[in-house]
Amino acid sequence: MAEERKVYSRTKGILPDTVSGFCPGCMHSTVHKIVGEAAEELGQLDNLVRVEGVGCCGLGQFYVSCDETIAAHGRAGAVATGIKRSSPNSLVYTYQGDGDLAAIGLAETLSAANRGENFTVIFINNGIYGMTGGQLAPTTLVGMKSTTTPLGRKAEEHGYPLHICEIINQLTAPYYIERVSCDTPQHVIAARKAIKKAFQYQLEGRGYSIIEVVTSCPTNWGLDTLSSLNFLREKMFAEYPLGVFRDRGKETADDSSAKV
Amino acid sequence: MARVEIYTEACKSCSYCVISCPKKTLEISEKVNSKGYLYAEQVRPEDCIGCMMCAQICPDAAIEVWR
């Protein structure tokens, strides 16, 4: 019998013997884990710089092992621009939730995307403000209850959910746009591949990439962990379909193969 | 023979690993960790095939797999 060996170990991208501050079933910690794994696979853990938004994502400051800074609410895109321009060899990513990126930071996000800044955005979309107690976010689904819309979001009063990937896909500069999720092991593996690809593009200097991760928020959705997975699959995926919106790297590879 | 190692202090009882295991070897136990969560444990280790599905889905990176 062959000798037993470790085939899956905890990534060095998160601190050893540390318990994250996230709620049970929250996928923020899954994303922290796969970001660490993606950077570890690329051998870039020492080179990784994280810019955090404000909100639940700020809890990651006690959990990740890379260098990081916390931007003012919504301004992670602007701060990451400064860091990447002054230290172009660093692998820079911003980690923002929907209340940060899609609400107060929409201008910074779109401006950075429009300039085609060479960093990666990881956008956690759970359709609600988590840390402040479940208020309406721009990405909240129509009819979904939150503490500021106790009767459910009404389109005529509060507007419709904002689709960030679709909006950024209208711009010319972004290089890679994909929407993934973390609800099954297969989706976790796909999400890690997407993040790794975005990091790879950044290291090659290709430009702006955004990975939107559609996740659940069992605490503020008022569901247990397994029902929140069902809600995620039935309602969130219907509003936010997963998939690649743009992958210029693949397009150019296809073009070059077509010419040959 | 494959086996999993669970860092029980990090487990938050979300049971994502329980539903992801294709061989149903994991269950939420009756025991609690220091934070008060009932943690997951492997009840049928002989059935484990080391597919790493539990480790992939675990939000808190509490599971390590040996094969």
pLDDT, tens only, B27-40 = 999 999 999 999 99
Q: Which of residues 26-45 of A touch B (CB under 8 A)?
A: 26-30, 33
pLDDT in tens, B10-61: 999 999 999 999 999 999 999 999 999 999 999 999 999 999 999 999 999 9
The ipTM value here is 0.95
Answer yes or no: is A177 within a domain: yes
Angle at A96 between CA A184 and CA A57, to 5 degrees: 75
A189/chain B closest Cα distance in angstroms? 7
**Which residues form the domain of A162?**
28-259
> Domain for residue A34, yes or no?
yes
Q: What CATH number did the domain enclosing A240 receive?
A: 3.40.50.970
Q: Which two tokens stand for residue A151?
A: 């009767």
Chain A environment of B28 (Cβ under 8 Å): none
Q: Confirm whether A240 is domain-assigned.
A: yes
Q: Are A91 and A74 in contact (CB under 8 A)?
A: no
Q: Does residue A226 fall inside a structural domain?
A: yes
* Distant-in-sequence, close-in-space partners of A238: CB < 8 Å, separation ≥ 6: none
pLDDT for the residue B1: 78
pLDDT in tens, chain A (260 residues): 568 899 999 999 999 989 999 999 999 999 999 999 999 999 999 999 999 999 999 999 999 999 999 999 999 999 999 999 999 999 999 999 999 999 999 999 999 999 999 999 999 999 999 999 999 999 999 999 999 999 999 999 999 999 999 999 999 999 999 999 999 999 999 999 999 999 999 999 999 999 999 999 999 999 999 999 999 999 999 999 999 999 999 887 777 655 54
**DSSP of A85-148:** HHSTTSEEEEEEEHIIIIIITHHHHHHHHHHT-S-EEEEEE-SS-TTTTS---TTPPTT--BTT
CA distance A214 to A22: 16
**B60: chain A residues, CB-CB within 8 Å:** 19-20, 22, 29, 33
Which domains does chain B possess? 3-66 (3.30.70.20)
Interface check for A112 against chain B (CB to CB < 8 A): the answer is no
pTM comes to: 0.94
- Tell me how close the Cα of A10 comes to any Cα of chain B, in angstroms: 6
Say which of B16, B57, B67 has its CB closest to residue A5: B67
Look at residue A214 in the predicted model and tell me its pLDDT. Answer: 97
The answer to the question of residue A117 being in a domain is yes
* Residue A200 placed within a domain: yes
Contacts of B66 in chain A (CB under 8 A): 4-7
Looking at the 3D structure of chain A, how many domains does it have?
Answer: 1
Tell me if A176 is assigned to some domain: yes
CB contact under 8 A, A10 and B7: yes
Positive or negative torsion for Cα B44, B48, B54, B60: positive
Position A260 scores a pLDDT of: 46
In a domain, A47, yes or no: yes
Question: What's the confidence (pLDDT) of residue A257?
Answer: 59
Q: Say how far apart CA A243 and CA A239 lie, in whole Å.
A: 13
B20/A185 Cβ within 8 A: yes
Of the candidates B7, B2, B3, B65, the one whose C-alpha atom is nearest the C-alpha of residue B40 is B7
Predicted confidence at residue B13, as pLDDT, reads: 94
Put simply, the answer to whether B57 touches A188 (Cβ < 8 Å) is: yes
Token pair in block for residue A79: 């701060």
